[in-house]
Structure 1
Amino acid sequence: MADPNITGGRELDAFLQQFSAKFEKNVMRGGLRAGANEFKEEVKANIPVDSGALRRSVRVTTNAKGGRVTASVKIGNKKAWYAQMVEFGTRA
């Protein structure tokens, strides 16, 4: 279990407060992108083919809106428009 007595919290907070909101947003975006890239590799590993447009269409996107930064792993594009059919199947 982690130690509940954290030292240096005020100093860390003061240090972080000196950065601009734009810098903070860019740091968050980079961290989220790095985490999403881990998921991207797992998504690629679960695609049932070894190469092709579907595998190349896996990408990571980030968005910063209203003070909220998000990252997403997206699959599919104009060439691999069938990505959802492969993942979820189709009905006859």
Structure 2
Amino acid sequence: MAELQNIAGLKELQAALKELPDRIAKNVLRGSVNAGASVITNEVQTRAPVYTGEVSQGHPPPGTLKRAVYQKQIRELSGQLKQTFYVGVRKGKQYQKQGKKGNLSQDAWYAKFVEFGTSKMAARPFMRPAFEAKKSEAVEAIKAYLEKRIPEEVAKLKVYK
């Protein structure tokens, strides 16, 4: 088995992951990319603007944009040596009154108007600045997760052999 304590770059990481059984390598990599995506997701939620004015009937309540931010693994683009996560905003439908308590939708269909602006509204970007501000911290979160998990999984393998 390759020496897993001395992982310095992507080539060394790829070699270390190839040494682990497929299922374990995939799970470790998925967890690490999830940790990095969580850093970005939290920053996007922090930066998402909240409307502070009077809300007219039929419009979403303040904070809907923050609640609509999510992250998701894209299984079709993921494998043993590659994991893909998407950080985005739920935007399926326009806002409707729902349920007994009234407006419960978490869709922020208007997110692109806030991010890029319109002819009548200036842009208030929150997605791109969040990514730019936290991308190095996300990489550090990925590295920290890998540094913790790979030795744990190697130790488990040694116990079972």
How far did residue 11 of structure 1 move? 2.4
How far did residue 20 of structure 1 move? 2.0
- C-alpha separation between the residues in 2 aligned to 1:76 and 1:45? 16
Q: 1:90 to 1:70 in 2, by over 3 A?
A: same
Deviations 1:59-79 (A, max 9, x none): 111124363311121113332
| Greater strand fraction, Structure 1 or Structure 2 | 1
Aligned letter for 2:88? Answer: K
Contact 2:78/2:84 (8 A) holds in 1? no
- Does 69-78 or 34-43 show the bigger shift? 69-78
- Does 49-58 or 20-29 show the bigger shift? 49-58
Q: What does residue 139 of structure 2 align with? A: none
Gaps of 5+ in 2: 5-14, 52-61, 93-106, 121-161
2:90 counterpart of 1:80: no
- C-alpha separation between the residues in 1 aligned to 2:90 and 2:29? 26
Gaps of 5+ in 1: 1-9
Deviations 1:19-57 (A, max 9, x none): 321221111111111111111111111111175221111
- What is the aligned-residue RMSD (CA, Å)? 2.6
- Specify the SS of the correspondent of 1:72: strand
Q: What does residue 38 of structure 1 align with? A: 39
Query: Segments of 4+ in structure 1 off by > 6 A?
Result: none
TM-score scaled to structure 1, two decimals? Answer: 0.71
- Specify the SS of the correspondent of 1:34: helix
Q: How many residues align?
A: 83
Larger Rg: 2
* Higher RCO structure (Cα 8 Å, ≥6 apart): 2
- C-alpha separation between the residues in 1 aligned to 2:16 and 2:50? 50
Q: Percent of aligned pairs with the same residue?
A: 38
Q: 1:74 to 1:14 in 2, by over 3 A?
A: closer
Aligned letter for 1:46? Answer: R
Aligned letter for 1:84? Answer: K
